[in-house]
């Protein structure tokens, strides 16, 4: 059974940093792309970032490029999202999602339950 478990969310001040983790199990982690998708309170889904299966290709939404960094630790089957220079508008539930294939543009077939990030002073 595929499982994705996010952790690392919390309250942070504007300008601060936070690192999200997503522990993956139930599939061969290094053969599937992984993504982060967020949802602000009461709003729709917004794709944040994606990593190919081998980490050779990474992609970012314009809203986070240069501030967020996606990475993978295949030894621990973990997806990471380093978030720096956080803004109030980054407040959201962040979902980790598995791709159906090796590249980030494949459909997202499994999702975690999400980690809440609140950016506020």
Partner 1 sequence: QSVLTQPPSASGTPGQRVTISCSGSNSNIGSEIVNWYQQLPGTAPKLLIYNNNQRPSGVPDRFSGSKSGNSASLAISGLQSEDEADYYCASWDDTLHGRLFGGGTKLTVL
- Contact set with partner 1 (CB under 8 A): 35, 37, 44-47, 50, 59-62, 95, 97, 100, 104-105, 107-114
Pick the closer one to partner 1 by CB: 12 or 50. 50
Buried b / exposed e along 12-21 (16+ C-beta atoms within 10 A): beeeeebebb
From the CB of 104, what's the least distance to partner 1, in Å? 7
Asked if 119 and 67 count as a contact pair (C-beta separation under 8 A), the reply is: no
From the CB of 40, what's the least distance to partner 1, in Å? 12
Pick the closer one to partner 1 by CB: 33 or 119. 33
From the CB of 12, what's the least distance to partner 1, in Å? 22
Q: Which long-range contacts (CB under 8 A, 24 or more apart) does 5-10 make?
A: 5/112, 5/113, 6/94, 6/95, 6/96, 6/112, 6/113, 6/114, 6/115, 7/115, 8/115, 9/94, 9/115, 9/116, 9/117, 10/116, 10/117, 10/118
Pick the closer one to partner 1 by CB: 29 or 94. 94
From the CB of 69, what's the least distance to partner 1, in Å? 15
Pick the closer one to partner 1 by CB: 59 or 82. 59
């Amino acid at each position: 059974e595929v499982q994705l478990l996010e952790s690392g969310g919390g309250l942070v001040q504007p300008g601060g940093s936070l690192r999200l983790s997503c522990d993956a199990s139930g599939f061969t982690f290094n053969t599937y792309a992984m993504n982060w998708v967020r949802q602000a309170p009461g709003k729709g889904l917004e794709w944040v970032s994606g990593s190919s299966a081998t980490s050779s290709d990474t992609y970012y939404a314009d809203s986070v490029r240069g501030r967020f960094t996606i990475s993978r630790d295949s030894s621990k089957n973990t997806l990471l999202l380093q978030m720096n220079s956080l803004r109030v508008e980054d407040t959201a539930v962040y979902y980790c999602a598995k791709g159906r294939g090796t590249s980030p543009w494949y459909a997202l077939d499994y999702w975690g339950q999400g980690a809440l990030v609140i950016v506020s002073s």
